[in-house]
Amino acid sequence: MEMPKLVLGNYCYWINETQDPEEHGGFVPSIVVRDESGHFPLKGKPPCAAPWVWGKTLDEAKKVASRINYKDLGLTPEAVDEIVASSMKAQTETHRCEDCRAEGASDDWECWEGTFLCLECYEARVARMKRVPPEWL
Ligand SMILES: [Zn+2]
């Protein structure tokens, strides 16, 4: 899953409560984007960057998250809740594939320039794109 473009006011930091704090020595924050299902853990890019750890305990990490959401992103706790709620809603929403018209939940789907495609149709489109002679690109 690729992270969508981040626009101030449309994303927030969020602590996934179900993560294993032993794995990275604390709680790693994630980015949640409005109307996008799922979340993007800030794990860094090994080996150069270590994951962000915002607290040894869930409580600590949540406090850091709400402080940074407010200080850096200008989001009140209510605004954060709203973004998280819209992301959860997006996860359960069903979509119809533009190409084959099949229906499914958005988690297994891909977005192609604003339209939803099932994984098969998405891959078929990618394969078609790749057949374009290189000098056209
Ligand atoms: Zn399809």
How is residue 15 written in tokens? 């602590």
Q: What's the whole-model pTM score?
A: 0.69
Per-residue pLDDT for 132 more than 80? no
HSE, CB side, 13 Å, CA atoms: give it for residue 12. 28
Q: Does 16 fall in a domain?
A: yes
Q: Which helix (H) or strand (E) holds 62?
A: helix 58-71
Is residue 62 domain-shared with residue 106, that is, in the same domain?
no
- Binned at pLDDT 50, 70 and 90, residue 4 comes out as confident
Gap from CA of 90 to ligand 1 centroid (Å): 19
What is the rounded CA–CA span in Å between residue 83 and residue 114? 19
- Binned at pLDDT 50, 70 and 90, residue 119 comes out as confident
What DSSP designation does 136 have? G
Q: Does 2 fall in a domain?
A: no
Gap from CA of 123 to ligand 1 centroid (Å): 10
Is residue 86 domain-shared with residue 99, that is, in the same domain?
no
Is residue 85 domain-shared with residue 104, that is, in the same domain?
no
Share of the chain above pLDDT 70, in %: 91
Gap from CA of 99 to ligand 1 centroid (Å): 5
Residue-number span of the structural domain to which 104 is assigned: 94-136
Share of the chain above pLDDT 90, in %: 53
